Structure 1
């Protein structure tokens, strides 16, 4: 039984990209769907599809690789806020990942969004993960 579903999501994507898989299938939840949409909007994955063929549903993610070197576009997925130690920040303390080259994914009262969007909307929240 998995207690931290977001860490499981990140681990599945990380392992599939390192193994060179084209597609990874993950059990769905609303937070995972929002994280997937952010990864697609930021250009870290090729495409995604939500399937409701089971009770919970699944997310199919097509991973993105560099055409020349065949290396995965996602260099690092790092879980920040964990079940044992939650990490909350206000709008002034939102982190910059790799001096703006990476993305911080934040769960706010306005929904799941990137750190830049949260700063623009002047809302803080729980820092879920860093992606770069």
Structure 2
């Protein structure tokens, strides 16, 4: 079965798995998904991840993170750009997520980075998703 928006599918899998308190979730591998997962790890939203092969398919195994009250660290995740509607922003007008408490993930000419790093590097790009 083909998925029309693989990034939104990945974000939905992570959101659903964290809501029902799963320890881990497997996501099909692509370069864009891997870069987004690396940012989620660096920003502290997930414990860890690793690339593995399951039934001869390459997947990313994402280990979800919970606080001391067993509440998910990822409170919300929202896709911004879709295959039918791409949203772009320059670094001057880069949106903020929850007044800086969330993270914006942007695809730029310098790679997939957070919105804060895009503003610091003075590059704009496609707004992929926001996480809080």
Whether TM exceeds 0.5 here: the answer is yes
Structure 2 match to 1:17: 18
Q: CA separation in 1, counterparts of 2:111 and 2:23?
A: 29
Structure 2 match to 1:41: 42
Pick closer, same or farther for the CA change 1:19–1:89 going to 2, 3 Å.
Answer: same
Q: CA deviation at 1:66?
A: 1.1
8 Å contact from structure 1 (residues 29, 56) kept in 2 = no
Q: CA separation in 2, counterparts of 1:53 and 1:63?
A: 19
Pick closer, same or farther for the CA change 1:74–1:125 going to 2, 3 Å.
Answer: same
8 Å contact from structure 1 (residues 23, 63) kept in 2 = yes
Structure 1 match to 2:67: 66
8 Å contact from structure 1 (residues 106, 127) kept in 2 = yes
Q: CA separation in 2, counterparts of 1:106 and 1:84?
A: 17
Q: CA separation in 2, counterparts of 1:35 and 1:55?
A: 23
RMSD: 1.2
Matched length:
131
Q: CA deviation at 1:7?
A: 0.4
Which ranges in structure 2 are unaligned for 5 or more consecutive residues?
A: none
Q: CA separation in 2, counterparts of 1:54 and 1:87?
A: 36
Structure 1 match to 2:131: 131
Query: Deviation above 3 Å: which 4+ runs of structure 1?
Result: 52-56
Pick closer, same or farther for the CA change 1:123–1:21 going to 2, 3 Å.
Answer: same
Q: CA deviation at 1:50?
A: 1.1
SS at match of 1:16: helix
Structure 2 match to 1:114: 114
Structure 2 match to 1:5: 6
Structure 2 match to 1:85: 85
